[in-house]
Amino acid sequence: MLLDKIKGVSSGTLLNKIKYFFCARKVGHAGTLDPIATGMFVICFGKATKLAKYLLNFDKKYKVVAKLGISTNTFDSDGKIRRISPVRLHDNELKQCIQSFIGIKKQIPPMFSALKHNGVPLYKYARQGIEITRKPRNVHIYDCRLLKKSNDIIELYIYCSKGTYVRSIINDIGEYLSCGAHVIELRRLSIGYFECSSMVTFKNLENIYYNNAFSDLEVLRKLDTLLVSVDNIKNMCMTINT
């Protein structure tokens, strides 16, 4: 299922709610989203969970809103402020900065992430003030484009490869401009060939599940109509990996 994730809820919490709605024994996902983020969250059920690892390899598209002049320890508005700096730059300087991020780049994963070190997520170390050395990895930024600028707020469109942290891009833009920056809104628009027009809202799921006019069987049937077939996912995996 292609769920339009709601803001302010962790991916794990949302996954448990979906498992409850569908009376599913086994659920998985194809990449988490931060609590601050919204947009495409791919959820797999039953045998389809085996395909999740292949879906992780797909390119992704995002729209991100960032605030210049303030950097945080998590690189987004959920974190603690590390530095406040004046923002003095020309539009051409900003555009040149953004353009410089296009291409294959080395990116160091943020400490506040779900990546594991010795079996423990990095964010748990970060919360204890422990810094773990992370190896930089190659990511491909196919497109990074300024959509809008209003005072110290910028809105970007980013099309990138798997494993790319948009929060890190924004933090790096802030460092490039010597003023700091952090994410205030983030929306995943697509994963592979799956576009946002195919997403199901959480509100829609609630309206079906809690509708007293439907029997339990009718609820399950209506929820099943919102699922993407396994064959569609398999076909996309074969296309991407050939």
- 35-63 b/e (C-beta count within 10 Å ≥ 16 → b): bbbbbbbbbbbeebbebbebbeebbbbbb
- Does 4 qualify as catalytic in the annotation? no
The dihedral of CA 241, 201, 8, 22: what is its sign? negative
Distance (Å, rounded) from C-alpha 40 to C-alpha 200? 9
Burial class (CB in 10 A: 0-12, 13-18, 19+), 229: exposed
Secondary structure of residue 156 in the 3-state scheme: strand
Catalytic residue among 4, 34, 76, 172: 34
Active-site residue numbers? Answer: 34
